[in-house]
Amino acid sequence: MITRISRFGRWGRTLVTAGLMLAATTVFNTAQAAYHALLVGIDHYSPAYGPGTLPSCVNDANGFRTKILGDTTRWSSTRIHTKVDSAATEAAIKSYLQAKSAALVAGDVFVYFHSSHGGTLLGPGHIPLHV
């Protein structure tokens, strides 16, 4: 499920994402689970896109990475992928999410953390999804 969380501010995004991660870990058998994450932070945008620079989205993504890596019983740096600024294109994010969804197995935990201006995509049945 993709939800719009950009209105919560910097710490709200972290708390919402951490809450989703906590909910996911209580649903799955965590003893057998492999933990995976895609962390996205975009501070700098192409002038053609329009929105201005943000001050700390890359720091948000890197800070979240540092925080979850503190739990060495669950998280490994080899299963955490970070995309920032120009590497965090819509195509690159979608491609990674599609590949990862095909590779995950029952019981795995996946966290998607996104800190940026956000945007809107058309979802199934052309329903707008806010990211």
Residues 82-94 have pLDDT tens digits of 999 999 988 999 9
Instruction: Say how far residue 11 (Cα) sits from the centre of its chain.
Output: 14
Give the whole-number percent of the chain exceeding pLDDT 90.
51
pLDDT at residue 12, as a whole number: 44
Q: Average of pLDDT values for 4-26? A: 44
Residues 46-77 have pLDDT tens digits of 888 777 889 999 999 999 999 999 999 999 99
Q: Which residue ranges make up each domain of the chain? A: 6-130
DSSP for 1-63 reads: -----GGGHHHHHHHHHHHHHHHHHHHS-TTTPPEEEEEEE-----TTT-----SSHHHHHHH
pLDDT at residue 125, as a whole number: 56
